[in-house]
Structure 1
Amino acid sequence: MDVKSAFPNGFIEEEVYVRQPPGFESARFPDRVYKLRKALYGPKQAPRVWYARLKSFLLKSGFVMGSVDKTLFLLSRGGDTTIVQIYVDDIIFGGSSHALVSSFFEQMSREFEMSLMGELQFFLGLQIKQGPEGTFVHQAKYTRDILKKFDMGDSKPMTTPMSTNTALDADEDGEAVDQKEFRGMIGSLRTDGDQAGHSASPRTSHRQAVKRIFRYPKFTPELGLWYSSGSSLFLRGFSDADHAGCRIDRKSTSGTCQLLGTSLVSWSSRKQASVSLSTTKRVHSCSLAARSRLLWMKATLSDFGLRFGKIPLLVDSTSAISVAKNPVLHSRTKHIDVRFHFLRDHYEKGDIDLVHVASENQLADIFTKPLEFGAFVRLRGELGFYALVTG
């Protein structure tokens, strides 16, 4: 559902004044300003006061706010549950009982001016197709739009986003390209990967690498994530990092992914903040981010009544596992920052279990380095990426 004129529903506690709109000045008081009683679209207080108003209403209606995610609200009655997720003035809701869901919409309609959008099919650029066997999420329309935007609709498709033979550097002798266009292409990819680091001084080689990425979704425009309704609910994570992959500053790229059963829920690929002097430190830095996300997911899922014991975090570095499990080795790892040993604390508490996985089965590999077609397709399939089947 969508809240019509959401922000004016919030009451401002601070003193906020606005000038009279041009052409609508008061003839009697032309030099005066308006004092706001309710929020408007524009003031920085508007989203906050709207959320406070909505939260207050939901809590009074019997909903319970999520312990971690403060935009999540749940209502349980007679064994049935209604789930409400808020994104500014858009609200996604659903439940196990049609009567409970209908009751929620009626309550909201009485309090606010609402419009019911129907079953969720499109949200934040994602296309969503729901069925009894599961949910399919893809970006076919967005793919077509960005290919058209950058005049690449007739380009030759590529089977992988990056070539294993490509290693980008500063290329200071290369021909400079339009910075605005390059940054627009990077922004359309929604990435902070290796190519994004060249946006300050892009060269022809950098643009060619980005165009190669654009040509990959043209090969698989209907590819998306499949969330099976019959998947078992077990939580696990994968963590990996390449070895000083950036040729400019020799920083490593960290890749993590978290799965609930066979469904990919969260993933990241980003350059590390500092240069790692050892493989152990590099993997520990990456594992720290993965561990934080797993603990966040564990706490969030507890709001849905799901309880997990020790969550496996799969890494392909035996040295990193040894450091986390064996304090004797710590005398040789003083160069690793103290905060990385927080991982070991959670291992001792029983929250996280570091588990070794063979490099060829490390799913996070796909987020850290270019892969050969065979390995790329295999890992992509294990992450739950499939082609949309119509009809």
Structure 2
Amino acid sequence: MSSIGVLTFFLRVISEERRGDDGIFISQDKYVADILKKFDFATVFPFALEAFSDSDYAGASFDRKSTTGAEYVAAANCYGHVLWIQNQMLDYGFNFMNTKIYIDNESTICIVKNLVFHSKTKHIEIRHHFIRDSYEKKLIQVIKIHTDHNVADLLTKAFDVSRFNFLIASIGLLNL
């Protein structure tokens, strides 16, 4: 491999390069700052990260033996996405640890908060239990939300027009 100078433009993304004894590091900080400035978001501080979890009973797998199990797996999958966003935002200097995850199933919340395994968790695969560790480390909060106010229903259930309009208004989308 040969070096032809400092890398300033790569795949149409303006980059910054830093060379060290342990390698070459490329940053997109300037690109992100330019995009934020272009759309007038340069001075906006991001709000807290919140997530809503709900299970899709129709698409639930047969290995889950209960509604609580399905809700727990859905919450763990939701946290997987939250974890990815938390890590991405850390790269840009924003700390979104202790994210609120809203769950409409009280038993699921109890399972997340109670680190002791019991009969409701024996059918759940081990890989889903990382949500408990994250709760214990205070990377997330699990909060009860009434099922009527859970905006995750937009992606998991069918409902009438009035419910759809209520949920759309709840997440701040405008009807154009």
Normalised-by-shorter TM-score class: 0.7 to 0.9
CA contact (8 A) 1:65 1:74 kept: no
Q: Distance in 2 between matches of 1:355 and 1:58?
A: 40
Residue 298 of structure 1, aligned match among 86, 90, 96: 86
Letter paired with 2:35: G
Q: Distance in 2 between matches of 1:301 and 1:275?
A: 34
Q: What is the deviation of 1:95?
A: 5.2
Q: 1:215-294 counterparts in 2 under 5 A?
A: 233-243=47-57, 245=58, 251-252=59-60, 274-294=62-82
Q: 1:1-391 counterparts in 2 under 5 A?
A: 54=10, 58-60=15-17, 65=26, 73-75=28-30, 82-83=31-32, 94=35, 96=37, 233-243=47-57, 245=58, 251-252=59-60, 274-328=62-116, 330-332=117-119, 333-388=121-176
Q: Distance in 1 between matches of 2:122 and 2:83?
A: 26
RMSD across aligned positions (CA): 3.1
Q: Unaligned stretches of 5+ in structure 2?
A: 2-8
Q: Distance in 2 between matches of 1:378 and 1:371?
A: 11
Change (3 A) 1:95 1:311: closer
Q: Distance in 1 between matches of 2:114 and 2:162?
A: 37
Q: Unaligned stretches of 5+ in structure 1?
A: 1-10, 12-52, 67-72, 76-81, 85-92, 97-118, 120-129, 135-228, 246-250, 253-272
Q: What is the deviation of 1:371?
A: 1.2
Q: Distance in 1 between matches of 2:26 and 2:68?
A: 39
CA contact (8 A) 1:238 1:363 kept: yes
CA contact (8 A) 2:101 2:143 kept: yes
Secondary structure class of the residue paired with 2:65? coil
Letter paired with 1:331: H
CA contact (8 A) 1:324 1:344 kept: yes
Q: Deviations over 1:152-190 (max 9, x none)?
A: xxxxxxxxxxxxxxxxxxxxxxxxxxxxxxxxxxxxxxx
CA contact (8 A) 2:101 2:141 kept: yes
Q: Kindly tell me the number of residue pairs found equivalent between the two proteins.
A: 161
**Which structure's CA Rg is the greater one?**
1
TM-score, normalised via structure 1 length: 0.37
Letter paired with 1:94: I
TM-score, normalised via structure 2 length: 0.76
Q: What is the deviation of 1:349?
A: 1.1
Q: Distance in 2 between matches of 1:230 and 1:59?
A: 23
Letter paired with 2:32: I
Q: Deviations over 1:213-262 (max 9, x none)?
A: xxxxxxxxxxxxxxxx868511010010133x2xxxxx32xxxxxxxxxx
Is the helix fraction higher in 1 or 2?
Answer: 2
Give the number of the structure with larger relative contact order, counting CA–CA contacts within 8 Å between residues 6 or more apart.
2
Is the strand fraction higher in 1 or 2?
Answer: 1
Secondary structure class of the residue paired with 1:309? coil
